[in-house]
Chains A and B, each alone.
Chain A
Amino acid sequence: MTKLLPLSEAIANYVNDGDTVYAAGFTHLIPFAAGHEMIRQGKKNLTLARATPDLIYDQMVAAGCAKKVIFSYMGNPGVGSLRIVRSAIEQGKLEWEEYSHFGMITRLQAGAAGLPFLPMNQTGAADLEKANPNIKRIPDPYGGKDVIVVPALNPDVAIVHVQRADANGNAHLWGIIGEQKEAAFAAKKVIVTAEEIVDESVIRSDPNRTMISQIVVSAVCHVPFACHPSYAQGYYDRDNEFYLAWDKVSESAELTKQYLDEWVFGVKDRDQYWQKLGSEVHKRLEVSALMSEPINYGRY
């Protein structure tokens, strides 16, 4: 059964105001197109969860979509401060809940595994545990040191971008695979956006690469270049210049508004956005091929 939908319909159907949203991807495959679509549709009161909020949540917070962020590293990766989320927190305008990376992804892993919580070893640094009542300490029932536990995170909706998927939502992804699989299995609904929609036979040609199964996917959207300014391994490069430029844009409320007006509200969809970026940017982000050696599954 095909789950193919235009991204605008998938966001309209599956993301509700007040939802907890996990837009997955550790630096890689960040689903910016879906973020922009949520902004265009004026989604409100979202709880935005991501290990690294990155520019996608900076933009969504600027656009007024969020009431809360859940995170473990709030920076502009490789550049510095994530200015809009940071200043919203400093000014008391945004709720937040914080973990270490390991705490954050352990929450997702528990959610994906259908567990109420998962333990981690102690780290000796207890201040976050004091600041966040969700982080608890319990005795090891087998007699070892106390362990730290965090509760499952089961987002209302996860958005996962992949290199290729079939129309049912079986998805191949490669490169940095961060927390995509865990987010997909933890969430109640999953929107997959893909660089390419391929025939099921392509998926079946390399089943070990299928990280996300049709079983958990609600919608599949064909959105090439959905990640810019993040990247898709083998398809296009990370736009580091954009990440550096955002440092200046996000310093000013006016420049941020201008950016959103021009690049989010001013375009209909990702295709228009990509065309608007222009051929110079396209060329700068091109990558040359580096193919893996084929493997032999055998015919049985």
Chain B
Amino acid sequence: MSEIKYSSAELMIINAARLLRDGDVVFVGVGQPNLACNLAKRTHAPNLVMIYEAGVIGAEPARLPLSIGDPTLVSGALSVVSMYDIFTNYLQRGNVDVGFMGGAQIDKYGNINATVIGGYDSPKVRLPGSGGSQEIAAWANRCYIMTPHQKRRFPEKVEFMTSAGFIGGRGNRAKAGLRGGGMLAVVTDIGIMEPDESGEMRLTQLHPGKTSDEAKANTGWDLKTASRVGTTDPVTSNELRIVRDELDPTGIYLKSGG
């Protein structure tokens, strides 16, 4: 059998999709998280319920949405509610299982910066800001993020904490009364990082052909590895076919991320 070739983006999307469970209620972002959720729904998680911060519940997009407020999310959805309702009745109340996060930086404790590089009052690079992520990170039961494994994206400590992971250690979440479980997996193009007992992200799995030295060299903190680092299951031709042919046929999101 010939070797299957895929891009870094495809590798991350497919591995992120596998983290979802059938029946999960997922707060979805546009772009790669949207592809991961739709892939999961078409493979092992047909009962996945996709929620968008624009107020759409149970979306079944017929085309690839460019924005989080695309009309294709509405047509045929289970429900459409106001933003206040989605953030209160659905998220704050505890009805969301999974939050897919994005951000420019993620640190050792899974905290995310999507706000600013440089000082807040005189920003060097002004990023978009929280959007929904501050509350999703706090209140979804499980949070995941996928991002290319690059040192600048993984500083020891974020410059600005837009959304909380384990803050300064696992106990901090309980102290703040956060209901969700926090950042439970960081999927990169090298492998997967998961929190240890202290809340520190450590390498637990490598994609086929990748090494822990590569992961360490591209992480901004002294990356620890689990006592046994596993290998992720190889990408299958079926997963690739769905992602390429059905979900993103023009390759808008598949070409990025290497």
Q: Does A145 contact B (CB under 8 A)?
A: yes
Contact (Cβ within 8 A) B128 A75: yes
Contact (Cβ within 8 A) B163 A177: no
The stretch of B3-11, B77-85, B224-232 in contact with A is B77-85
Contact (Cβ within 8 A) A125 B111: yes
Within 8 Å by CB of A121, from B73, B74, B123, B139, lies: B139
Q: Per-residue CB proximity of A93-116 to B under 8 Å, as 1/0?
A: 000001111110110110000000
Known contacts A28-B54, A98-B129, A106 near B84 by CB under 8 Å:
yes
Q: Does A128 contact B (CB under 8 A)?
A: yes
Question: Which A residues lie within 8 Å of B80 (CB)?
Answer: 174-177
Q: Does B211 contact A (CB under 8 A)?
A: no
Contact (Cβ within 8 A) B82 A123: no
Q: Per-residue CB proximity of A215-244 to B under 8 Å, as 1/0?
A: 000000000000000010100011010010
Min distance, Cβ A264 to any Cβ of chain B, angstroms: 23
For B75, the closest partner residue in chain A by CB is A290
Q: How far is the CA of A179 from the CA of B82 in the complex (A)?
A: 6
Q: How far is the CA of A72 from the CA of B139 in the complex (A)?
A: 18
Summed over the interface, the residue pairs from A and B with CB atoms below 8 Å come to a total of: 179
Min distance, Cβ B197 to any Cβ of chain A, angstroms: 18
Q: How far is the CA of A209 from the CA of B128 in the complex (A)?
A: 33
Q: Per-residue CB proximity of B83-107 to A under 8 Å, as 1/0?
A: 1100100011000000000000000
Q: Does B130 contact A (CB under 8 A)?
A: yes
Contact (Cβ within 8 A) A124 B54: no
Q: How far is the CA of A100 from the CA of B129 in the complex (A)?
A: 8
Q: How far is the CA of A100 from the CA of B73 in the complex (A)?
A: 22
Within 8 Å by CB of B74, from A99, A102, A233, lies: A233
Contact (Cβ within 8 A) B126 A125: no
The stretch of B40-48, B62-70, B243-251 in contact with A is B62-70
Contact (Cβ within 8 A) A101 B83: yes
Q: Does B196 contact A (CB under 8 A)?
A: no
For A30, the closest partner residue in chain B by CB is B69
Q: Per-residue CB proximity of B116-147 to A under 8 Å, as 1/0?
A: 00001111111011111111011100000000
Q: Does B25 contact A (CB under 8 A)?
A: no
Known contacts A121-B92, A125-B134, A238-B70, A26 near B128 by CB under 8 Å:
no
Question: Which A residues lie within 8 Å of B221 (CB)?
Answer: none
Question: Which A residues lie within 8 Å of B130 (CB)?
Answer: 72-73, 98-101, 128
Interface residue total, chain B, C-beta cutoff 8 A = 57
Within 8 Å by CB of A78, from B68, B74, B83, B161, lies: B68
Contact (Cβ within 8 A) A243 B83: no
Most chain-B CB neighbours within 10 Å: which of A79, A101, A243? A101
Contact (Cβ within 8 A) B71 A238: yes
Contact (Cβ within 8 A) B132 A100: yes
Known contacts A28-B71, A51-B83, A128-B115, A178 near B176 by CB under 8 Å:
no
Contact (Cβ within 8 A) A123 B67: no
Contact (Cβ within 8 A) A109 B115: no
Contact (Cβ within 8 A) B131 A92: no
Known contacts A72-B130, A178-B82, A77 near B68 by CB under 8 Å:
yes
Q: Does A27 contact B (CB under 8 A)?
A: yes
Q: How far is the CA of A12 from the CA of B217 in the complex (A)?
A: 60
Q: Does A254 contact B (CB under 8 A)?
A: no
Question: Which A residues lie within 8 Å of B54 (CB)?
Answer: 26-28, 176, 178
Q: Does B30 contact A (CB under 8 A)?
A: yes
Q: Does B195 contact A (CB under 8 A)?
A: no
Question: Which B residues lie within 8 Å of A233 (CB)?
Answer: 71, 74
Q: Does B35 contact A (CB under 8 A)?
A: no
Q: Does B237 contact A (CB under 8 A)?
A: no
Min distance, Cβ B101 to any Cβ of chain A, angstroms: 12
Q: Does A277 contact B (CB under 8 A)?
A: no
The stretch of A37-45, A82-90, A150-158, A160-168 in contact with B is A82-90
Question: Which B residues lie within 8 Å of A177 (CB)?
Answer: 55, 80-82
Contact (Cβ within 8 A) A121 B126: no
Contact (Cβ within 8 A) B177 A231: no
For A232, the closest partner residue in chain B by CB is B71
For B65, the closest partner residue in chain A by CB is A78
Question: Which B residues lie within 8 Å of A90 (CB)?
Answer: 123-126
Q: How far is the CA of A243 from the CA of B252 in the complex (A)?
A: 15
Q: Does A127 contact B (CB under 8 A)?
A: yes
Q: How far is the CA of A238 from the CA of B66 in the complex (A)?
A: 10
Q: How far is the CA of A262 from the CA of B66 in the complex (A)?
A: 27
Known contacts A90-B126, A98-B129, A128-B115, A176 near B55 by CB under 8 Å:
yes
Question: Which A residues lie within 8 Å of B124 (CB)?
Answer: 90
Min distance, Cβ B74 to any Cβ of chain A, angstroms: 5
Contact (Cβ within 8 A) B128 A74: yes
Contact (Cβ within 8 A) A72 B131: yes
| A–B pairs, 12, beta carbons within 8 Å | A75-B128, A77-B66, A78-B70, A79-B66, A100-B135, A102-B132, A105-B83, A121-B177, A123-B134, A125-B138, A238-B70, A243-B67
4 smallest A-B Cβ distances: which pairs?
A27-B69, A124-B164, A73-B131, A78-B67
Q: Interface of B with A (CB < 8 Å)? A: 30-31, 53-56, 65-71, 73-76, 80-84, 87, 91-92, 111, 115, 120-126, 128-135, 137-139, 160-164, 167, 172-173, 176-179
